[in-house]
Every structure is written in structure tokens, then in C-alpha cells.
Amino acid sequence: VIGHPKYQDSKRIAIFLSMPDEIQTEEIIKDIFKQGKECFIPRYKPQSNHMDMLKLSSAEDISSLTLTSWNILQPSDDDSAREEALAGGGLDLILMPGLGFDKKGNRLGRGKGYYDTYLERCMKHPSGKPYTIALAFREQICELVPVAENDVQVDEILYEDS
């Protein structure tokens, strides 16, 4: 990821805070700050498909986040001091999780449509849709992932041997 040209060229990057069964993102987050880039992480709204990407001030800032019922760290609902990416300059790159992927860029998420809905909002932002890279294990690459009409394909999937 760190050597990827799209990552190198990006200034404003959204990345997920990994769960134990996902590609671990901690070192990427540290590198984002080391290179002087801006880092945004998801805040999911329960009982909806709404997600915002909120700015982290440092890699250490992660320790100030609250744990959700899904066991995901994210800024608390009353944290209004953080910049939301689309309220500012938008995003250049989104690094995304998923459960399964096919080589056409279709992604199977956890079923709520958070990323698809967020990407629809990005497309309406003046800076346009950011480049999307899914981070996967080779075992998550499938022949075919079922898709719905509102599913947004990822631009690229990075996995071992890709």
C-alpha cells in the first residue's frame, strides 16, 4: 500500500480501523501521519446506512476513540470538533475493508451499505469520487460476488500476489 502510486499522490486518505479478521491498518495509519498526509476514519451511525469520515489528529488519537457495540473504534456521536472529509476538501483515496471481492471490483461488505452510500455522497462533492482500494487476503478473492444496483465497484483490490 505504502509504495502504491495512488497512495503516494494522495493528500487526504480515508482508512478503516481494522477488526481482528481484517488486513491490519495500524502501520499504514502511522505512515499517513509520517508523510504529512491527512487521515480520516469512519464513524458509522447505527440503525442506518449513514457513515461519515472524520479526521484523526495523530496515530495516537486512536486511543481516545470509543468502542462501538460492533467492537469498532470510532469517534463518539457527540464529537463535533473533527472535520468531516466532505465538509472540507473531500478525499483523494479510500482504503476499504470487505468480506469478499471478485476481480471485476465487486465487493461484499457487511451488508449495511455504508461505503456504497458514502461513495454516492462523494460523487456529489466538488472534488469528485476518490480512488478506492480494497485491502484483502488472497482467500477473500472469489469468482463472483453478488451485487445490487446501488453497489459501487472498487477501483482496485490489493492482496498478496496481486
Residue 109 labelled as part of a binding site: yes
As a whole number, mean pLDDT of residues 122-140 equals 95
Q: C-alpha distances in angstroms, 103 versus 100, 112, 142, 145, 155?
A: 10, 22, 8, 9, 10
Q: Do the Cβ atoms of 32 and 15 come closer than 8 Å? A: yes
Summarize the confidence of residues 12-20 as an average pLDDT: 95
Q: Is the pLDDT of residue 81 over 70?
A: yes
Q: What is the pLDDT of residues 56-67, one digit of tens each?
A: 999 999 999 988
DSSP, residue by residue, 106-142: -EE-SSS-HHHHHHHHHHHSTT-PPEEEEE--GGGEE
Predicted confidence band at 13 (pLDDT cuts at 50, 70, 90)? very high
Residue 113 labeled ligand binder: yes
* Residues 41, 53 contacting (CB under 8 angstroms): yes
- pLDDT, tens digit (0-9, with 9 covering 90-100), for 24-61: 999 999 999 999 999 999 999 888 889 999 999 999 99
Distance (Å, whole) CA 70 – CA 20: 12
pLDDT digits (tens, 9 = 90+) for 82-102: 999 999 999 999 999 999 999
CA angle 145/146/151 to nearest 5° reads 100
CB atoms closer than 10 angstroms to residue 160:
10
Contact 136, 159 (CB under 8 A): yes
Which residues does residue 74 pair with via DSSP β-bridges, in sequence order? 66
Tell me the mean pLDDT in the region 135-162: 91
Whole-number pLDDT of residue 110: 84
Per-residue pLDDT band for 158 (boundaries 50, 70, 90) equals very high
Tell me the domain boundaries of the chain. Answer: 5-158
Is 22 one of the annotated binding-site residues?
yes
Is residue 8 within a helix (H) or strand (E), and if so which, with residue range? helix 5-9
Question: Cell triple for residue 133?
Answer: 482500494
Closest to 156 in 3D by CA, of 118, 111, 102, 108: 102
Query: What is the second-level CATH architecture of the domain 5-158?
Result: 3-Layer(aba) Sandwich (3.40)
The pLDDT, as a whole number, for residue 130 is: 97
Instruction: Determine if residue 114 is labeled as part of a ligand binding site.
Output: yes
The annotation status of 112 as a binding-site residue, yes or no, is yes
- Is 17 annotated in a binding site? The answer is yes
In tens, the pLDDT along 105-116 reads: 999 988 889 999
Q: What is the pTM of this model?
A: 0.94
Confidence of residue 162 (pLDDT cuts 50, 70, 90): low
107 is in an annotated binding site: yes
110 is in an annotated binding site: yes
